[in-house]
Structure 1
Amino acid sequence: MKALALSVLSLALYAGATFADEEITLSVIADDLNQPWGLAQLPDQSWLVTERGGRLLHIDANSNATQTVALNLPNLFAEAQAGLFEVLLAPDFEQSRKVYLSYACGVASRNTTCVSVGMLNQEATEVSNLEVIFSGTDKKGAAHYGGRMTWLPDATLLLTLGDGFDYREQAQNLDSYLGKIVRMNADGSVPEDNPFRHKEAPLIYSYGHRNVQGIVYDAERDAIWQHEHGPRGGDELNKIEAGKNYGWPLVTYGIDYTGAYVSPLQKLPGTVQPLLQWTPSLAPAGLALHNGDLWVAHLAGQRLQRFRFVDGKWQQSQDFLQERETRYRAVASGSDGRLYILEDSPNAKLLAISY
């Protein structure tokens, strides 16, 4: 497939500095992907890619050939926003061959976010021995699941969870997993130092979230960065800390889709303010650290944004790929030095960016 050379105009940093014009090379790695959602790179530089409908794909690093990985997720629910979400390798993947998969499970009248772990064979053609290690709080409908995952240095797993859309008040309920980020051991058990072990939902790590669509651990700064969707306006970038309340729906910079207030408050004692917020909403959907910068893929915003860490703060540096007028679902840092991005459509591409 033919690589596309794109010229990107420089944009000024908020701090006033500028970057010279950069030329990036955009290469198509795979196409004809049906609503892809998550991606993970294997040690041989090939990729696993999830599709929301339930397929797991293996994309060869050399030939770009795509094959379906045999996968039988227990109780998968695929409808509207529901389906197969993230794929994540175990920290010891090269020894254990374990992969973690987040997905919607159940039926329309009763469903939630689940996580299963299984073993990928050496040929990357099948995931077997699947075991469900997490099942969240049940709800109706097919919206706001979260589903992003990342590992912490102590080998505990963070999983993001949505508020279920019609259940937003539950984001403040510490006996419900709706609207939370949870932390679990690799087998799904509760870590001894979780902040709410005494509650009915002891895996909760932070709360007051709407629909978290990106999370990453930053080893250089020993920090967890996260972004989530607001309603109309008020998408957020946050630094996540154990036990903290991130405010939804008590405080928000957005309004309801009807035009009414969700809350008249943007700040409230005891809640954490976002590091930055997007209004109008760009619908951030993927998050990656690459070459020390934070990269955000946007759905409604149809762009890839780069943020640089300046004087202890993330500051927007550049917007990329707007001229393609395409929704972007996920972004990941490749071991080959390239940045990889998934489009969001029934006929989507996996792209590699060199710069």
Structure 2
Amino acid sequence: MKFLLQSIIISGLLSFIACAQDKNPVNTQHSYELVVPELINPWGFVFLPDESMLINEKEGRIIHFKDGAKTEINGVPKVYNRGQGGLLDIKLHPKYKDNGWIYLTFSSSEGEKKGGHTALMRAKLQNNMLVESEVLYKATPNTTKGQHFGSRIVFDDNGYLFFTIGERGNRDVNPQDLMRDGGKVYRLNDDGSIPKDNPFMNIENSKTAIYSYGHRNPQGMVIHPLTREIWSHEHGPKGGDEINIIKSGKNYGWPVITYGVNYIGTEITDKTSKPGMEEPLHYWTPSIAPSGMEFISSDRYKGWENNLLVGSLKFQYLDNCYIKDGKVIKEERLLDGLGRVRSINQGPDGFIYVGIENLGIVKLIKNK
């Protein structure tokens, strides 16, 4: 009992010390409205053309939320629900109104080895059921490790599909090896075929779907509203969470360069830069544990146009990043202490909607 009490006290003290390190000011001018209550882990969500929502619960359920009611979707793929794995991101095809395609990432146990790895699939929704389901990409090999599945999805202006896969806890092999899945951003055509101009098409035995490499665990990716570049963020170890602009064929350095250290405090590398490797646009030390990512492109929030929003799992707030000349010049905390921020989207009405673990989806509003 004495040991247990000491452990609780030490744990609480460490938590206080960790939180005290994050000096970003708290914005008290904005609050929230709970839109979708009673969700456990809304890993990803999208708005349908009628402004209802499809919500991915990590445990393996898709919820259709419409007119205040929740309906569970049938035909959802079986997920490898272990650690950080489960049902992950969801995205509509840019021409969804014409073709009806919905894209999902999830951890899948399909394959020869035990465990799981990240998969990308597409399907259509009919009568509350996923139909015409097809897996477009399945990473290999499976592993029973429970960390670093990624995984976010975006479409660019040319209709290419990009998605991320974390390095699955195998940092010394996967992220720097073009012949192995994990620690990569991938680019596909919308039907799962591989674009002929992908950067590693002519590298023998490489995974030709790879677009960039040297990543740790990217759980945020979005298109910049003005430059149309792909912005992504990824978890560092202890320190060194990063924001990067994703470019074709580039190496983002993990674990050769990093601003982080091992969780026990020992050094991973003494390098934060190296020729031929991309340095982050921005990094966080201490780590905020980023998840979810969205630019503000509406006029709902005066003075915040083109600001970048990033969720913090560790410190439980929405990070409002002011950007000038391609750099983060100021940060402030929104929804401070509300819960672990998992997912962020700008809705059709221009408001920002945020998925909070063990709460639901909230709308960011200004206090009256």
Summarize the alignment of residues 266-281 of structure 1 with structure 2, pairs less than 5 Å apart: 266-281=272-287
1:116 to 121, 126, 139: 121
2:106 to 97, 103, 108: 103
Structure 1 residue 321: Cα displacement: 1.6
Aligned equivalents of 1:24, 1:236: Cα separation in 2: 26
Aligned equivalents of 1:246, 1:167: Cα separation in 2: 13
Q: Which consecutive segments of 4 or more residues in structure 1 shift more than 3 A? A: none
1:137 to 137, 140, 155: 140
Contact 1:210 1:229 in 2 (8 A): yes
Q: Which moved further from structure 2: 47-56 or 214-223?
A: 214-223
Does residue 171 (structure 1) correspond to residue 179 (structure 2)? The answer is: no
Structure 1 residue 25: Cα displacement: 4.0
Q: Secondary structure at the match of 1:33?
A: coil
2:93 to 90, 93, 97: 90
Structure 1 residue 240: Cα displacement: 0.9
Structure 1 residue 303: Cα displacement: 0.8
Structure 1 236/321 Cα, relative in aligned 2: closer, same or farther at 3 Å?
Answer: same
Q: Secondary structure at the match of 1:171?
A: coil
Aligned equivalents of 1:22, 1:168: Cα separation in 2: 43
Does residue 332 (structure 1) correspond to residue 345 (structure 2)? The answer is: yes
| Residue deviations 1:71-116 (CA, integer Å, cap 9, x gap) | 231x521111111001110111111111001000017834211011
1:45 to 25, 46, 51: 51
| Residue deviations 1:100-151 (CA, integer Å, cap 9, x gap) | 0100001783421101110012x5x121111011111214112101010000
2:315 counterpart letter in structure 1: G
Contact 1:36 1:348 in 2 (8 A): no
Contact 2:62 2:76 in 1 (8 A): no
| Residue deviations 1:209-247 (CA, integer Å, cap 9, x gap) | 000010011241121111000000000011111111100
Number of residues of Structure 1 aligned to a counterpart in Structure 2: 330
2:197 to 193, 208, 219: 193
Structure 1 residue 165: Cα displacement: 0.9
Contact 1:305 1:316 in 2 (8 A): no
2:68 counterpart letter in structure 1: N
TM-score by length of 2: 0.85
Structure 1 residue 315: Cα displacement: 2.5
Aligned equivalents of 1:104, 1:157: Cα separation in 2: 18
Aligned equivalents of 1:283, 1:171: Cα separation in 2: 19
More strand by share: 1
Aligned equivalents of 1:323, 1:53: Cα separation in 2: 24
1:295 counterpart letter in structure 2: L
Q: Which moved further from structure 2: 205-214 or 299-308?
A: 299-308
Structure 1 residue 261: Cα displacement: 1.4
Summarize the alignment of residues 1-355 of structure 1 with structure 2, pairs less than 5 Å apart: 23-60=29-66, 63-73=67-77, 75-106=78-109, 109-121=114-126, 125-140=128-143, 141-199=145-203, 200-291=206-297, 292-324=306-338, 326-344=339-357, 347-355=358-366
1:101 counterpart letter in structure 2: L
Q: Secondary structure at the match of 2:81?
A: coil
1:5 equivalent in structure 2:
none
Q: Secondary structure at the match of 1:170?
A: coil
Please list every run of 5 or more consecutive structure 1 residues that lacks an aligned counterpart in the other structure.
1-13
Aligned equivalents of 2:359, 2:316: Cα separation in 1: 13
Alignment RMSD (CA, Å): 1.9
Aligned equivalents of 1:128, 1:222: Cα separation in 2: 32
Aligned equivalents of 2:154, 2:30: Cα separation in 1: 28
Aligned equivalents of 2:31, 2:288: Cα separation in 1: 24
Aligned equivalents of 1:303, 1:319: Cα separation in 2: 6
Q: Secondary structure at the match of 1:322?
A: coil
| Residue deviations 1:7-55 (CA, integer Å, cap 9, x gap) | xxxxxxx9xxx9xx77324111112212220011111111111011110
Aligned equivalents of 1:330, 1:50: Cα separation in 2: 10
2:5 equivalent in structure 1:
none
1:118 counterpart letter in structure 2: A
Q: Secondary structure at the match of 2:263?
A: coil
Q: Which moved further from structure 2: 27-36 or 228-237?
A: 27-36
Q: Secondary structure at the match of 1:172?
A: coil
Structure 1 190/262 Cα, relative in aligned 2: closer, same or farther at 3 Å?
Answer: same
Aligned equivalents of 1:84, 1:210: Cα separation in 2: 19
TM-score by length of 1: 0.88
Aligned equivalents of 1:338, 1:65: Cα separation in 2: 21
Contact 2:80 2:115 in 1 (8 A): no
Q: Secondary structure at the match of 1:94?
A: helix
Contact 1:55 1:71 in 2 (8 A): no
